[in-house]
């Protein structure tokens, strides 16, 4: 089975340089808006535009179950995945509240929930399989499932772009997915599992140590090829993580900036960047998660988080909060007056 990765345009260096030049003409000391200035320049390179605007924002949450929950790695049972997906569909989750505040539309994609979900206007029913297999005993997925899940994500991104999309946050829902994400990060970076494993849903000390051992066993049993992101997904990945990587790739192919959330979203971004290295130019790190493995991801991707609020929820919550910073960067570049326009003296 084959997969076609769309062409992702390289950054627009003309737009980047024009944005940088305008920043020097705005009525402020050069560099005084710090990260906002740098972000506005990156946004110009991503979009190919110097007049930046992001009125059409979306949060895409990919959902899937994980067979590794049979090992007792989570504080919550697998039944919570479909329950939380439906809570999101009806607008009751944190991500719904934050998306409404940010003026962003919301979609959840069932790519691998273990049970059937009822139709809903906010739900894409695109199930590839009923969850992954237990990666501690063998591969989490077959390769066709990996490729199908990636395709689901890319197709969803294409659909959302067709509906009008300027900025996207990519989130997730899936009990057990911090275990899969940590295994992915360890496989792709070579970092020791104990150094990058967090407590996920808030497991106690005993279960935390057990979680580390389960991840180590999964890597030992499956021996994923660190040079092959598809194989890493097959061995220790998640259906929703593969779909998230697909959403990111599809968005970047349409020059839509991608705001990365926490650990699981970061693992998907790492996979996407290994599939298509130019992806790194389209990522914005929404926040710094409490999950320790997220720090490794951000270093690997060369990203500086916009926010650090002690979050560890997932769902895309930190990414959506960062929408406000993205819009601030765009608006200050666009709407501030230049020294000449304001008749303000510049340097001697």
Q: Report the CATH number that the domain containing residue 36 is assigned in CATH.
A: 1.10.1610.10
Mean pLDDT, residues 282-311: 96
Contact 295, 288 (CB under 8 A): yes
Q: 18 and 62, same structural domain?
A: no
26 lies in some domain = yes
The pLDDT of residue 18 is above 80: yes
Q: 115 and 242, same structural domain?
A: yes
Mean pLDDT, residues 333-348: 88
DSSP strand E in the chain: where?
57-64, 104-112, 123-125, 167-173, 258-260, 283-285
Q: 154 and 46, same structural domain?
A: no
6 lies in some domain = no
Q: 174 and 37, same structural domain?
A: no
pLDDT in tens, 29-39: 999 999 999 99
Q: 141 and 104, same structural domain?
A: yes
User: Under DSSP, is residue 3 helix (H, G, I), strand (E, B) or coil?
Assistant: coil
Q: Provide the 8-state DSSP code for 75.
A: S
CATH of the domain at 98: 3.40.50.10210
Structure tokens at 225: 């090829």
Q: Write the DSSP assignment of 193-210 as a string of letters.
A: HHHH---TTT--HHHHHH
Q: 294 and 205, same structural domain?
A: yes
Return d(Cα 178, Cα 185) in angstroms, integer.
10
189 lies in some domain = yes
N-term to C-term CA, the chain: 65
Q: 190 and 92, same structural domain?
A: yes
Overall domain count for the chain: 2
Mean pLDDT, residues 128-150: 98
The pLDDT of residue 283 is above 90: yes
Percentage of residues of the chain with pLDDT beyond 90: 92
The pLDDT of residue 208 is above 90: no
Q: How confident is the model at residue 1, as a pLDDT? A: 52
Mean pLDDT, residues 235-245: 98
Q: Which of the four pLDDT bands, split at 50, 70 and 90, describes residue 3?
A: confident
What phi, psi does 295 have (nearest 5°)? -60, -40
- Mark out the alpha helices in 114-201 (DSSP H runs): 143-162, 177-189, 193-196
Q: 36 and 79, same structural domain?
A: no
Mean pLDDT, residues 313-323: 97
Mean pLDDT, residues 134-140: 98
Q: 299 and 226, same structural domain?
A: yes
Q: How confident is the model at residue 206, as a pLDDT? A: 81
Return d(Cα 226, Cα 189) in angstroms, integer.
7
Report, as residue numbers or ranges, the catalytic residues: 315
Position of tokens 């929404």?
286
Task: Compute the mean pLDDT over every residue in the chain, rounded to the nearest whole number.
Answer: 96
Q: Provide the 8-state DSSP code for 68.
A: G
Q: How confident is the model at residue 348, as a pLDDT? A: 57
Mean pLDDT, residues 279-284: 98
- Torsion sign over Cα 37, 40, 46, 49: negative
Q: 317 and 244, same structural domain?
A: yes
112 lies in some domain = yes
pLDDT in tens, 79-111: 999 999 999 999 999 999 999 999 999 999 999
DSSP strand E in 230-289: where?
258-260, 283-285
Q: Which of the four pLDDT bands, split at 50, 70 and 90, describes residue 202?
A: confident
2 lies in some domain = no
309 lies in some domain = yes
Percentage of residues of the chain with pLDDT beyond 70: 99
4 lies in some domain = no
The pLDDT of residue 116 is above 80: yes
Nearest 5 degrees, angle CA 298-CA 104-CA 47?
A: 60
Q: How confident is the model at residue 146, as a pLDDT? A: 98
Other Cβ atoms less than 10 A from the Cβ of 87: the count is: 16
67 lies in some domain = yes
Q: 109 and 18, same structural domain?
A: no
The pLDDT of residue 76 is above 90: no
Range of the domain at 33: 13-52+332-342
Q: Under 8 Å CB-to-CB from 120, ≥6 apart: which residues?
A: 86, 89, 90
Q: 17 and 77, same structural domain?
A: no
């Amino acid at each position: 089975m084959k997969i076609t990765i769309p062409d992702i345009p390289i950054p627009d260096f003309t737009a980047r340089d024009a944005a940088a030049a305008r920043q020097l003409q705005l009525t402020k000391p050069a560099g005084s808006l710090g990260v906002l200035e740098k972000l506005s320049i990156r946004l110009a390179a991503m979009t190919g535009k110097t007049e930046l605007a992001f009125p059409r924002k979306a949060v895409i949450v990919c959902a899937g179950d994980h067979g590794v929950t049979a090992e007792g790695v989570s504080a919550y049972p697998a039944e919570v995945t479909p329950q939380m997906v439906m809570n999101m569909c009806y607008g009751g989750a944190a991500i719904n509240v934050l998306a409404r505040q940010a003026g962003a539309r919301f979609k959840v994609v069932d790519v691998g929930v273990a049970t059937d979900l009822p139709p809903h206007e906010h739900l894409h029913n695109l199930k590839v399989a009923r969850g992954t297999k237990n990666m501690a005993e063998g591969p989490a997925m077959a390769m066709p499932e990996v490729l199908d899940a990636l395709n689901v994500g890319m197709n969803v991104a294409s659909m959302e772009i067709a509906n009008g999309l300027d900025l996207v946050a990519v989130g997730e829902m899936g009990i057990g997915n911090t275990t899969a994400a940590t295994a992915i990060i360890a496989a792709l970076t070579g970092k020791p599992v104990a150094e990058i494993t967090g407590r996920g849903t808030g497991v106690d000390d005993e279960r935390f140590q057990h979680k580390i051992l389960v991840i180590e066993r999964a890597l030992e049993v499956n021996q994923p090829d660190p040079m092959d992101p598809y194989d890493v997904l097959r061995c220790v990945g998640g259906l929703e993580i593969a779909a998230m990587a697909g959403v990111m790739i599809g968005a970047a192919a349409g020059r839509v900036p991608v705001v990365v959330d926490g650990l699981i979203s970061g693992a998907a971004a790492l996979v996407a960047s290994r599939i298509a290295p130019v992806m790194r130019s389209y990522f914005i790190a929404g926040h710094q998660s409490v999950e320790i493995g997220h720090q490794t991801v951000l270093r690997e991707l060369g990203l500086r988080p916009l926010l650090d609020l002690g979050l560890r929820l997932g769902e895309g919550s930190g990414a959506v909060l960062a929408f406000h910073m993205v819009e601030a960067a765009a608006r200050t570049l666009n709407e501030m007056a230049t020294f000449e326009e304001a008749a303000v003296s510049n340097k001697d």
